[in-house]
Amino acid sequence: MKLISLNRYISLLILLISFSLLPLHAEEEIDIWNKEKKEKSNLNENVDKENITSTPKIVISNQTNNNIEIENEIVKASENIKIFGIYDPAENDFDLNMWTATEAEDIRSSIKRIKKIKLSNTATKLFENTILSFAYPPKGMNDKEFVNLKIDWLIENKKVSLIEQFLKQNSTFPNKKKLIQYLVDSNIAKANIKEGCKQINFLDKNIKDSYLDKFKIYCLVFNKKKNEAQLQFDILREEKQSNNFFDDKMNFLLGVTNKTTKKVKEDNLLNFYLSSVTIENFTYEPKKDTKKIIWEYLNAANLIKLDDAQDKEKLKNLEIAANKDQFDKQKIFDIYSNFSFDLNSLIKAEDIYQRFDNIDARALIYQRYLLSDNEEIKIRLLLLLKDLFQKDDLSNIFVEFLSDRLKEINLNDVEESYKEVVRKNIITEEELKLGKIKYNDKILHRSRLLKYFDNEITQKKAQKDFIKIYKKIKKNRKYFFSAKDLALVESLVKDGFEIPKEFNYQEISKNYNIPSNLLILGKRKESAFLTLKLVEIIGEDEAYNLDPETIYFIIHLLNQNNLKKIRNEILISALPQRS
C-alpha cells in the first residue's frame, strides 16, 4: 500500500511539473495575420522540435586569424551539426539560428534565382554578409550541403580574398580541398607560381588529394628544396598516388633524368603547366574545346603568338576565344594592327572594305580608325567596326573597346546627332564614385540627421537636431513628407527617438504597400531568408538607384527584423545628396 501511495505521489508531482513548464499562450495576432496562423503554428512546432531554445554565445578569439568559436552552453538537438563561415552573425544583427526557421528548398530556390542576376555592390554585400555568417543550416539541409553553397558562391564569383579568409576562419570543413585547388589554379593561370605555393600551406594532414600533393612537391622544387621534394615524391609513389606523366616530369626536374616526354597533357592545369615548363621551345595551338583556365595561363605566360597574320584559321579561333573571354581581347586588336594594307586601301577603307573577307575588313577599318584625327570620322568608323563584329557574332570583343574609345571623344567637336549615338554606346559605370554628403535641413531625408546613421553623432544630439529640423519643415505648408522621409522617421522611432505627437507618421505609411509575403517572413523570424529576398529585389540596382517606395519598404522590413546595421548602410547609400 505504501508503494502504491508513493507511486501516486510521484505521478502527481510529475504532472504538476509538466503543467508548470507549458508555454504561455501568446496574444492573438491582428487580423491581417489570421489566415497565416495555422501555417505559422505548424512551422513553429517544427522549429521548436529541431532547434535549441536559446542561442549559444559567440566568442571571437584574440588569435591573429580571428577565428570564431562557439561556446556550447546549450547544445543543438543534433550535436553532429557543424557551422562554417566568415562573419560573426551578431555583426549584422543575426544569430546562429538565422536559417533554422526556413525550409531548405526555399533557400535552394532563392540562391538559384540570385545566381542568374548580375548583382550590384549593394546586393552583393548584403548576400555575402548573410550567407557567409556562422549559422546552423536551414531545415532539411545538412552542414555539408550548406557549406557547399558557400563554397560554390565564392568560386563562381572569383572571391579570392574571401576564399582566403574562409580558409583562415575554418580549419576543417567538407570540400576544403576544392577551395584550395581553386586558389592554386587561379595563381597558376596568372603564371604566379610563387603566390600559388603560398596557398598550398592551407593543406593539412587530414586532406589527402593527389592533385594538391603533386603541386606541393613541385613547389618544393620551385623553392629549391629538392631533398625535401624527393622525400615527398617517394612517399607519393609508395602510396600509389602518382602516375607515369608526373613521375617523368619530377625525375627531370629533380635531375634524376636529363630528358622528358614531349607530350603535352591538358587534362588539368597542373599537368599543362608542367608540360610548358619542361619542354624546350614549348608551343601549343589552343583549340575550340581548350579549357578556359588553360587559355588564361597561355595569356598570362605570353604563350600565344600569331607569327603569320595571314593564318586566318588560327586568328578565327583566337577571335572566338576572345569573344568567350578566354583570350585577351586587346591582343586581337594588336594582331589587326600587324596586317599589311597599301595606303590607297587605307584611304578608301569605308568604300572598299566590303571587297575583303570579314577578318581583313575588320583589320582594315580598325587601322583606318587609328589613322583618323577627326572626331566624327572616328565615331563613324567605330560604329562600322561594331557592325562588322556583330556580323560574325563577336560583339563581346568590341563592346567594351567601343565604350572606352567613345569616352575619349570630345563631344564639343561633333554635331548633336553624333552626341546621342555616343551616349547610347557608352557602358554605364558599374560603380558610382560617391562624393561627399551635402546635408540639407530643408528636406528631412537629406538633413544632418543622417550623421546619426553613419555613427557621426550621438542619439542625444540627433534627437535635438530632429526637433529643430522638424519645426523648420513644419513651417513650410507645401512640404510633402516622402517615402524616403518615412523610412528615416520609422528608423528613428525604432531606435527609441521621441516623435512630436502631431506628426502622424503612421497615417502617412498607409499610402505605401509592403509585400505581404515579406512581412510574413518577419513574423516567422526568418531574418536570413528575408535578406535573400531583398537581394533578389535589389538585384542589379545600387541602393541610391532604387525608387523611394522600394527604399521605404526595405527599410521597414529591416526595422521589423531588427537588422539595424544593414538598415543603416542602405540608408546612408540611398538617402543623401552627394557632391
Q: Using only the alpha carbons of the chain, give its radius of gyration.
A: 32
HEC letters along 465-518? HHHHHHHHHHCCCCCCCCHHHHHHHHHHHHCCCCCCCCCCHHHHHCCCCCCHHH
Q: 53 with 143, same domain? A: yes
Taking Cα atoms as reference points, which of 576, 579, 578 lies closest to residue 446?
576
Q: 455 with 481, same domain? A: yes
Chain segment 511-537, per-residue pLDDT in tens? 999 999 999 998 999 999 999 999 999
Q: 417 with 447, same domain? A: no
Chain segment 305-314, per-residue pLDDT in tens? 776 667 888 8
Q: 442 with 574, same domain? A: yes
- Mean of all residue pLDDT scores within the chain: 84
- 58 CB neighbour count, 10 Å cutoff: 18
What local confidence, expressed as pLDDT, does residue 204 receive? 85
Cell numbers placing 476: 513650410
Average pLDDT of the segment spanning 551-563: 96
Chain segment 416-472, per-residue pLDDT in tens? 877 887 887 876 543 334 567 889 999 999 999 999 999 999 999 999 999 999 999
Tell me, yes or no, whether 320 lies in a domain.
yes
Q: 441 with 570, same domain? A: yes
- 356 CB neighbour count, 10 Å cutoff: 17
Q: How many angstroms separate the Cα of 190 from the Cα of each of 160, 179, 322, 452?
A: 13, 17, 17, 45
State which H helix or E strand residue 71 sits in: strand 68-71
Q: How many CA atoms lie within 13 A of 192 on its CB side?
A: 11
Q: 471 with 381, same domain? A: no
* Residue 505 pLDDT exceeds 50: yes
Domain boundary among 174, 190, 217: 174
Proportion of the chain above pLDDT 70, given as a percent: 84
What local confidence, expressed as pLDDT, does residue 302 receive? 86
* Residue 485 pLDDT exceeds 80: yes
- 562 and 93 Cβ atoms separated by less than 8 Å: yes
What local confidence, expressed as pLDDT, does residue 241 receive? 94
**549: containing domain:** 437-578
pTM of this prediction?
A: 0.72
Chain segment 25-48, per-residue pLDDT in tens? 333 332 323 333 344 344 344 434
- 107 and 529 Cβ atoms separated by less than 8 Å: yes
Domain boundary among 374, 395, 425: 425
Average pLDDT of the segment spanning 480-487: 94
φ and ψ of 184, to 5 deg: -60, -50
Q: 96 with 63, same domain? A: yes
Kindly write down the DSSP assignment for every residue of 402-433, as one continuous string.
HHHHHHTS-GGGS-HHHHHHHHHHSPPPSS--
Q: 402 with 468, same domain? A: no
Of the pLDDT bands very low, low, confident and very high (cuts 50, 70, 90), residue 577 is: confident
Tell me, yes or no, whether 227 lies in a domain.
no
Q: Which residues contact 206 (CB under 8 A, 6 or more apart)?
A: 172
Distance, in Å, from the CA atom of 573 to the CA atom of 293, rounded to the nearest integer, reads 37
- 45 and 37 Cβ atoms separated by less than 8 Å: no
Of the pLDDT bands very low, low, confident and very high (cuts 50, 70, 90), residue 69 is: very low
Tell me, yes or no, whether 8 lies in a domain.
no
> Is the backbone of residue 26 left (phi > 0), alpha (psi -120 to 50) or beta?
beta
- Length of the chain equals 579
Distance, in Å, from the CA atom of 468 to the CA atom of 10, rounded to the nearest integer, reads 67
Chain segment 118-128, per-residue pLDDT in tens? 999 999 999 99
* Residue 161 pLDDT exceeds 50: yes
Average pLDDT of the segment spanning 271-281: 95
* Residue 60 pLDDT exceeds 50: no
Q: Which residue has the cell 561633333?
A: 414
What local confidence, expressed as pLDDT, does residue 313 receive? 86
Average pLDDT of the segment spanning 225-251: 96
Tell me, yes or no, whether 492 lies in a domain.
yes
Tell me, yes or no, whether 478 lies in a domain.
yes
Q: 313 with 418, same domain? A: yes
* Residue 539 pLDDT exceeds 60: yes
SS3 58: strand
Q: 419 with 441, same domain? A: no
* Residue 553 pLDDT exceeds 70: yes
Q: Which residues contact 167 (CB under 8 A, 6 or more apart)?
A: 176, 179, 180, 183, 202
- 139 and 100 Cβ atoms separated by less than 8 Å: yes
Of the pLDDT bands very low, low, confident and very high (cuts 50, 70, 90), residue 373 is: confident
Tell me, yes or no, whether 254 lies in a domain.
no
Average pLDDT of the segment spanning 368-394: 92
Tell me, yes or no, whether 370 lies in a domain.
yes
DSSP assignment letter at 454: T
Average pLDDT of the segment spanning 137-166: 95
Among 7-21, 44-58, 348-362, the range of highest mean pLDDT: 348-362
Report how many domains make up the chain: 3
Q: How many angstroms separate the Cα of 305 from the Cα of each of 282, 283, 311, 318, 368?
A: 12, 9, 11, 10, 24
Taking Cα atoms as reference points, which of 255, 257, 197 lies closest to residue 223?
197
- 421 and 388 Cβ atoms separated by less than 8 Å: no
Tell me, yes or no, whether 255 lies in a domain.
no
Q: 72 with 128, same domain? A: yes
Cell numbers placing 329: 581581347
Pairing of strands 68-71, 57-60: antiparallel
Q: 463 with 529, same domain? A: yes
Chain segment 337-363, per-residue pLDDT in tens? 889 899 889 989 999 999 999 999 999
Q: Which residue has the cell 575550340?
A: 288
Taking Cα atoms as reference points, which of 110, 78, 76 lies closest to residue 96?
76
Domain boundary among 174, 204, 220: 174
Of the pLDDT bands very low, low, confident and very high (cuts 50, 70, 90), residue 21 is: very low
